[in-house]
Amino acid sequence: MTYLLVPGAGGQAWDWHRLVPLLDDAVAVELPAADDSAGLQTYADVIVAAAGPDPGPVTVVAHSMGGLSVPLVCGRLEVRRLVLLNAMIPAPGESGSKWWEGSGHSQVDIGEFDEVEHFYHDLPTDVRAEALARPEARQSETAFAEPWPLAGWPDVPTEVLAGADDRLFPVHFQRRLARERLGLDVRVVPGGHMAALSRPEELAAALQA
């Protein structure tokens, strides 16, 4: 089974580069995040194209903002499982920009946002240095401005993975959101928000369990 790995804001396939070699068949998707003409449907088109012709059954893994776009591919690919990794879980008609208030995240005390402290605090030193040396990824507001277009969550087996040390989406927040919006519990895995960079071996084991 192919794993399609969908990144969060900024759309960088690089975010998965430590995980890909640990899975039997994995494709890290590069999204057109900087393109102001690209919305969620365009992201879905790119995800489907990345799967290639006749991909067969796939597991789609969504990180962070990827939770907004991956449900849109379920009618277009043979999705056997959706995995949400520290992901946004949208409600019908809710835009990404409204999600922070609608989900209750705006009431969660995460302190003053700092890229290193919230994204890279638990990365190995060399990986953190590489991440910070890369050109800053731009995320267009277009995909955040659109109302989420589905009437409900797709009828596909879904699993929610929450990083034990996620400082942006703390476990208690992810647990409440998953229960309220999907009726699911979360499985806590090692690592912070960027668990695919900080704890790829443990994440690979969780995905293959």
Predicted local distance difference test score (pLDDT) of residue 203: 98
User: What is the residue whose two structure tokens read 């293959």?
Assistant: 208
The per-residue pLDDT for range 64-79, each reduced to its tens digit, is 999 999 999 999 999 9
- Write out the two tokens for 180: 């309220």
Within 10 A of 76 (CB to CB), how many other CB atoms are there?
12
Q: What confidence score (pLDDT) does residue 80 get?
A: 96
Structural contact between residues 10 and 38, judged by C-beta atoms closer than 8 angstroms: no
For the chain, which residues make up each domain, given as ranges? Answer: 2-208
Residue 1's pLDDT is 80
Mind listing the pLDDT tens digit for each residue in 35-44? Answer: 999 999 999 9
Q: Are strands 2-6 and 26-28 parallel, antiparallel or unpaired?
A: parallel
pLDDT for the residue numbered 170: 98
pLDDT at position 209 is: 87
Is pTM, for the whole model, over 0.85?
yes
pLDDT of residue 121: 96
Which residues of the chain are modeled with pLDDT < 70? none
- Superfamily, domain 2-208: Alpha/Beta hydrolase fold, catalytic domain (3.40.50.1820)
Query: 164 Cβ partners below 8 Å, 6+ apart?
Result: 171, 188, 189, 190, 191
